[in-house]
């Protein structure tokens, strides 16, 4: 285990740069507005459309995620994380990431880092000009009527939601080159496995942060969690039925073909979030916990068939897992 049970009640300022509501607001407030066809590119996108279906909330409720992270188990596995809650193991893998979000989790296309081209970004960013998220947003907002407005909007969305970086301001890195190159072919942006991409980034950052803590939680420190964190944010409430019943409720009228993140939302409690103490109180000593989130409907079985495929290579073996 990364942390001893003595650390389980400690609090930190866990934050995320994945500001979905803010990103959608920016896209919807552009002047002139995106055309119907441009807006439909997002809302009918085979992967991103569900991000627009979700109940829109200004605040993430991430203490369930923090409760799990405090219980992260050490493992040799490179492509999955295990949490131990009341002696029961919970897996967070590509399957869980995809089942909750419906982002594609297929293997990467061969040579994906070199697919597409730089013609689009070279038209709009001069040589040596900064290409950080805030620079992309400024270009987008000030672009006006332009044939490339959709591509700039896609670059903004990818950088703001799918791959939300931890650093902002002058310390921020450029948006990823794979995003910049992808914009020369928007069809590629529809079929690319953004689920696998966002998941791999989350795992890398989680591993780095756990090692940084060194087994001790320093309270009131800030841990900015990057990437598309919604699946991990909801995992505790999907794997532990008691928490799901207490803190989540069904979304009325949700499409049966939508993924988990669209079908339920957090109950209103008069606060901006759910406290760690409230989660621990409800968790208590329950062991009614799913190791691996089960599918509930034929639609979810088909969903996994559509977004999933066998791994290209074998993960590290771990006798403990």
pTM of the predicted model as reported, rounded to 2 decimal places: 0.90
Q: Which of 59, 84, 117 is nearest to 8 (CA)?
A: 84
User: With contact defined as beta carbons under 8 Å apart, do 41 and 252 qualify?
Assistant: no
pLDDT tens-digit profile, the chain (321 residues)? 778 888 888 887 777 777 888 899 999 999 999 999 999 999 999 999 999 988 888 778 888 988 999 999 888 777 889 999 999 999 999 999 999 999 999 999 988 888 888 899 999 998 888 888 889 999 999 998 999 999 999 999 998 888 877 677 777 788 888 888 888 888 888 999 999 999 998 888 777 777 777 888 888 777 777 788 899 999 999 999 999 999 999 999 889 999 999 999 998 876 667 888 999 999 999 999 999 999 999 999 999 999 988 776 677 777 777
Name the residue ranges covered by the structural domains of the chain: 1-16+60-107+194-309, 19-59+112-192
H helix or E strand, kind and range, residue 84:
strand 80-85
Distance of alpha carbon 127 from alpha carbon 135, whole angstroms: 14
Q: Which of 238, 316, 90 is nearest to 82 (CA)?
A: 90
DSSP, res 47: T
């Amino acid at each position: 285990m990364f942390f001893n049970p003595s650390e389980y009640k400690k609090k930190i300022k866990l934050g995320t740069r994945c500001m979905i509501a803010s990103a959608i607001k920016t896209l919807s407030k552009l002047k002139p507005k995106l055309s119907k066809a441009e807006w439909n590119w997002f809302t009918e996108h085979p992967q991103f459309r569900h991000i627009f279906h979700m109940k829109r909330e200004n605040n993430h409720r991430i203490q369930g995620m923090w409760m799990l992270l405090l219980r992260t188990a050490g493992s040799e596995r490179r492509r999955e994380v295990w949490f131990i809650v009341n002696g029961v193991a919970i897996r967070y893998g590509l399957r869980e990431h995809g089942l909750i979000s419906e982002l594609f989790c297929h293997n990467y296309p061969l040579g994906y880092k070199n697919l597409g081209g730089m013609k689009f970004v070279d038209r709009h960013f001069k040589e040596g000009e900064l290409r950080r998220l805030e620079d992309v947003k400024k270009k987008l907002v000030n672009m006006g009527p332009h044939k490339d407005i959709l591509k700039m909007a896609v670059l903004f969305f990818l950088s703001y939601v799918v791959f939300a970086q931890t650093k902002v301001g002058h310390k921020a890195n450029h948006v990823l080159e794979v995003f910049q190159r992808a914009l020369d072919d928007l069809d590629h942006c529809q079929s690319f496995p953004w689920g696998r991409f966002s998941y791999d980034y989350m795992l890398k950052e989680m591993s780095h942060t756990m090692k940084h803590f060194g087994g001790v939680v320093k309270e009131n420190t800030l841990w900015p969690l990057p990437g598309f964190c919604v699946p991990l944010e909801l995992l505790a409430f999907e794997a532990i039925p008691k928490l799901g019943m207490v803190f989540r409720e069904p979304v009325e009228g949700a499409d049966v073909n939508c993924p988990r993140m669209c079908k339920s939302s957090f109950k209103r409690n008069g606060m901006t979030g759910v406290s760690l103490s409230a989660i621990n109180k409800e968790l208590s000593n329950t062991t009614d916990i799913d190791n691996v989130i089960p599918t509930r409907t034929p639609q979810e079985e088909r969903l996994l068939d559509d977004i999933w495929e066998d791994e290209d290579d074998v993960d590290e073996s771990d006798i403990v897992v």
